[in-house]
Amino acid sequence: MPVSPIAPVQGVMPTDYVGGASAVSGTDGSGFAASLTGAVDNLQQLQSTSNQLAVSAVTGNLNDIQDATIAATRAQVTLELVASMRNKGVDAFNEIMRMQA
């Protein structure tokens, strides 16, 4: 029985990553900004879904309460991740600003 290889995770590393050195052109930060924008958009979508399922659960229109619980947990964990990314970014910025020229 042949074993198929595991597909790479999309969006984690540049597609032109070779042997420890990335060949990303430019250092304008647009890739990082796009990643943060995507994370915030994903967070908003998860929170919206969580809110909709919570309203459905309260009104009695939800068959499985576990769907609402899972959606709320996903939104909470994603919010914590985005908040910690923001905090680390602010810490890095402050550390760079403290450096002497």
Q: What is the pLDDT of residues 46-82, one digit of tens each?
A: 999 999 999 999 999 989 999 999 999 999 999 999 8
Q: What does the DSSP 8-state code read for residue 18?
A: E
Better-predicted residue by pLDDT, 29 or 55: 55
Q: How many other C-beta atoms can be found within 10 angstroms of the C-beta atom of residue 85? A: 14
Whether 20 has a pLDDT exceeding 70, the answer reads no
Angle at 38 between CA 37 and CA 40, to 5 degrees: 65
Question: Can you list the positions of beta strands (E) in 2-101?
Answer: 17-18, 21-22
Would the pTM of this model clear 0.75, i.e. be above it? no
